[in-house]
Structure 1
């Protein structure tokens, strides 16, 4: 599927998967330095899964794990899914996915706590974690991602900074502080990291970002970590055609400015004339007295 067709397909599928992360997913998934399977924990209606599925290579397995419409394993998780994902069903996910791809990924219909029963350790090159937002569950997803990722693999954590998901933030930054997760880059929605050496992938990422006029980036130093921040550049607003009313307003502004200029020049001329008149009125009597003095001395006035 061509890029425009894929973009159109993604726009039709409900979900929260912004253009910056779409470009980053494509770049990380196109990295040929690491081979292996791909895993998504939490898929909602398949927006990100559709993009991931387009980058699965021959011989690789793409696994998706989600509760879909099933009951959650505990009351808090059940309340979360009822509140935020009441429209999610496996049937809707499958229909969305098959509208783009010929075959479904491997589907684990259940909580992410069972994922290690289905995906072997050290087999994945890319893992997307976007399941529960509750700290206890995210902490388990972090450990599962670390288990299944192979050397050089990338994990992407969704909602690592949203105000309504503090449990994700705590679990992810705990992994950075205490479990050896090395952050590579962040967008407004996702943190991308590795349990390998982040320097090589970060340098390649920076070289790629330098070629992308649609993305801006900067690098922050966080102690021993160098974190790349990425976001989409804002497009300049297109010039709007002027209406007749706008043109009249513009002409009126120009005319008013010209009148002010002419008025200022006229006022300056009047002031200069007044000054000259005053000087003549002062010098007249002085000249008259000087002429009389010269006549009395017998000197003709010039």
Structure 2
């Protein structure tokens, strides 16, 4: 994982917020959350691991009356164990709570509920069966991801959606093991897979899968395939130049300055060609006596 560099500037657009949140996953997050709203599914939102706030900002945009977003992250606090501390130092040295809050408040009027602690505390902070959507992107170590998945199962509503980040990256084998173990042994049922994230539920995935397939088949900028493994239908998606969905700009957005208009270059003036003598004028000269004609010609020559 390459480090995303922090910035001390207020973001003008979601793309200005540092972090790893590809356009395809922005489209999928938006689709799942919109679908829940259309179906009248109420519940809170939870994110474990927020980094600079890119995905949390999108989640906060989908809150409705009476709902809350909870974000849990170590930020600049010490990790609970040595391996987790080494991971934090390597990949998140620039992360601070202040940077997260600055970015989030650029798009929203109030902060979410922020828990600055290891994700292992979340089951004590968020009640069971209260959330409709949980995004897990905290520690990538197997033991921590295993615990986060178990907490998400208790916190989610029966048909709620959980999203596991980095489930297939070569640098995060612990996430891969924990994710597929949950599918094979802990009742998690995949809905779809993006290049970076696994979307699943402990409810029935088939209705949402059918609607998702209908939506994705309308996209020419998204690759799509369906496979079966261990009795699970796996909907695989990948971006083919997909653009992120429209998202409101922040309160600090400054439109780019328009380029100055260059006046059209003036055309160089060319000398007017000599006007040819009219036929009548030539005829008048030709009718003069030869002596006069020679005198006129001598006069013209002397003036030239």
Counterpart for residue 143 of structure 1? 150
Does the alignment pair 1:191 with 2:206?
Answer: no
**Per-residue deviation, residues 140-176 of structure 1 (Å, max 9, x unmatched):** 0010111101111000000000000000000010000
**Distance of 1:50 and 1:79 partners within structure 2:** 27
What is the CA-CA distance between 1:213 and the residue it aligns to? 2.8
**Distance of 1:35 and 1:214 partners within structure 2:** 31
> Normalising by structure 2, what TM-score?
0.73
Name whichever of 20-29 and 209-218 sits farther off.
209-218
1:1-302 superposed matches below 5 A: 9-31=13-35, 32=37, 33=39, 34-234=41-241
Determine which structure has greater relative contact order: mean sequence separation of CA pairs < 8 Å that are 6+ residues apart, divided by chain length.
Answer: 2
**Distance of 2:98 and 2:58 partners within structure 1:** 18
**Distance of 1:148 and 1:223 partners within structure 2:** 26
Runs of 5+ consecutive residues of structure 1 not aligned to the other structure: 1-6, 236-302
**Distance of 1:217 and 1:105 partners within structure 2:** 35
**Distance of 1:152 and 1:55 partners within structure 2:** 18
Tell me the SS of whatever aligns to 1:131.
Answer: coil
Runs of 5+ consecutive residues of structure 2 not aligned to the other structure: 1-10, 243-304
**Distance of 2:228 and 2:178 partners within structure 1:** 21
> Normalising by structure 1, what TM-score?
0.74
**Distance of 1:143 and 1:223 partners within structure 2:** 21
Tell me the SS of whatever aligns to 2:32.
Answer: helix
Runs of 4+ in 1 over 4 A off after TM superposition: none
What is the CA-CA distance between 1:233 and the residue it aligns to? 1.6
How has the CA–CA distance of structure 1 residues 8 and 212 changed in structure 2, closer, same or farther, with 3 Å as cutoff? farther
**Distance of 1:21 and 1:186 partners within structure 2:** 10
**Distance of 2:63 and 2:15 partners within structure 1:** 21
Tell me the SS of whatever aligns to 1:77.
Answer: helix
**Distance of 1:8 and 1:183 partners within structure 2:** 35
Tell me the SS of whatever aligns to 2:71.
Answer: strand
What is the CA-CA distance between 1:8 and the residue it aligns to? 6.2
* CA RMSD between the two structures: 1.3
Tell me the SS of whatever aligns to 2:102.
Answer: helix
What is the CA-CA distance between 1:113 and the residue it aligns to? 0.4
